Amino acid sequence: MPRIAIVTDIHHGADHLAKRGSAALPLLEQFVRFVADTKPDLVLDLGDRISDRDRDHDLALMRQVADAFAPIAAPVLHLCGNHDRDFLSVDDNERVMGQALGHQCLDIGGWRVVAWRADSRIRRPGGFHLDEADLVWLEHTVRSADRPLLIASHVPLSGHDQTGNYWFERNPTRSRYPDTARLRAVLARARVPMLCVAGHVHWNTLTMVDSIPHLTLQSLVELSSTSPQPAGAWGLLELADTIDWRVLGLDPFAVRLDATATARRPLPCLAPFEERVLATAG
């Protein structure tokens, strides 16, 4: 049974609004100790390792985060978040974090972990942009899957509602890719159990889309739900016939799901009632 420890939105750097960036490294040290104690098969970092300022400063922050991850003995997959990309390129992130940061699949204990590293840079103006090549790669990976899939991304793929979210209720377009409908259609073609996990929105959530569960994980340093202390959140995911998800820290969250049920697709949604009435009348 694969066991995966997950952390996201570390935001090492200055304190800003509801992000306690000054607490990032001490909290990350606690996460590293948790990993040493629980001995997961894999560690996922879903991105936004730093809070950006300028290139030189960001490189220094990123190196400190890389040093904090260094003691981990388990395999670690890093993804880039938008703050990792404001002043740094993917190549910069690769050099500092010591691994390639293109799309990647890793088979663990009967499941396939998919690190979908689509472009996470926010254009100003414009927001997120999804390259066609990234969507095509994901579609091929989903269509050809011969085992259950865990798809990890920085930006959530559900496009779920942000009502009540400190950061994104009034900025919903910055919480998702503009091509969410196409992403959902790609994922719905899967014929194997599937789970999606993401960061970015600084929120613990479960959203079901086409019977596929989409989880988001609270930021390590978020204050909005646990003020005056940062959430200190990280997750432990256990994958078998069931999906067991547990978020630790000051903003706990837990989910248990039947993995087999995530491969079932619901009936197509009903047409608007008004259209049905007109069709019947005709």
- Determine the 3-state secondary structure of 146 from DSSP: coil
**Number of structural domains found in the chain:** 1
Of the candidates 6, 246, 8, the residue with the CA atom closest to the CA atom of residue 150? 6
Q: Would 95 be classed as within a structural domain?
A: yes
Q: Would 274 be classed as within a structural domain?
A: no
Segment 158-183 shows an average pLDDT of 96
pLDDT at 271: 86
CA–CA distance, 50 with 161 (Å, rounded to integer) = 26
87-115 burial, b for 16+ CB within 10 Å, e for fewer? bbebebbeebbeeebeeeeeebeebbbbb
pLDDT at 125: 87
Question: What are the tokens at 277?
Answer: 């009435």
User: Higher pLDDT residue, 145 or 276?
Assistant: 145
pTM (two decimals): 0.96
Q: Would 278 be classed as within a structural domain?
A: no
Q: Does 281 have pLDDT greater than 70?
A: no
Of the candidates 54, 91, 90, 50, the residue with the CA atom closest to the CA atom of residue 69? 50
How high is the mean pLDDT of the chain? 96
Query: CATH code at 69?
Result: 3.60.21.10
Q: Would 9 be classed as within a structural domain?
A: yes
21-45 burial, b for 16+ CB within 10 Å, e for fewer? bebbeebbeebbeebeeeebbbbbb
Q: Would 272 be classed as within a structural domain?
A: no
pLDDT at 46: 98
How confident is the model over 126-135, as pLDDT tens digits? 899 999 999 9
Segment 15-26 shows an average pLDDT of 98
Q: Would 273 be classed as within a structural domain?
A: no
Identify the domain containing residue 30 by its residue range: 3-265
Q: In what order do the strands lie in the sheet with 3-7?
A: 76-78, 42-45, 3-7, 234-239, 242-248, 253-258
How confident is the model over 233-256, as pLDDT tens digits? 999 999 999 999 999 999 999 999
Q: Does 95 have pLDDT greater than 70?
A: yes
Q: Would 275 be classed as within a structural domain?
A: no
Q: Would 279 be classed as within a structural domain?
A: no
How confident is the model over 176-214, as pLDDT tens digits? 999 899 999 999 999 999 999 999 999 999 999 999 999
